[in-house]
Structure 1
Amino acid sequence: MREIDAIIDSNASKALVKELAELRIRNLLCFRELEALNNNGKFLYKHPLIRNYSERVQLETMFLEDPDRFLDEFANARENVKRYSSFLKNKKRTPEQKEKDRQNLDKHKDRKQLFIDITKQNNGN
């Protein structure tokens, strides 16, 4: 982050400011997760790394124990990506709706990528 701060001080672009903001958000989420673990002994599952790890374990178990359900969930994830991509293109959606759609699209893209990674891992590719 210090490198980005130095660059932003000399040459502020939208991409760099966005990257700095995203890093700050991730850092705050990380500290909240660690604080919750320290105080309660449980994660909040808000930070992407922890959330995806937990979800990944569940999906890997599903892949091994119930492959049909795994494939159905994978199909649902792909459909959700298509759906929210379509919502973002819809000019009738309000900015608030589009922001929620963007968040949902990111969430479902991450989930879809988890399915792809698990499938590749278990097929030896």
Structure 2
Amino acid sequence: CDTTREGLEVKATVQIGKGGESHNGHSGWHTVICFDKTDAGIEFVHVMFAALKGHQERNADWKYVGSRVNEDTGSRRTETYNTTGTGTTKLRDGSAFLNPSRIIYSRWRQKRIGKIPAYSIFAKDGV
């Protein structure tokens, strides 16, 4: 990532295991916080971090998924980017918190360029 214009984007979602979603698909640090609503409040299930390559870079970690019109209301969804398989794997590698009673991460697909980082949940000595 280009550190001269680096930022941090934080997203929260109830879609556990999905990966990242952004309105810009830009380079920088990205955090995705997965949670579930319970009778007691919010339960955090997974928190992940990664430095991702923007959609205009070579081997980008983002893909453009566009904008849709809701047929019922006529409203248009904001332009959106989702992480590629490689971008999602980078986020999962950077898991800072994961509730193993809620997530069986060994079933997740991985798509990566290079070796598994030592800090990854997929490393032999991982979480």
Higher alpha-carbon Rg: 1
The TM-score with structure 1 as length reference comes to: 0.24
More strand by share: 2
Name which structure has the greater RCO, CA cutoff 8 Å, separation 6+: 2
More helix by share: 1
The TM-score with structure 2 as length reference comes to: 0.23
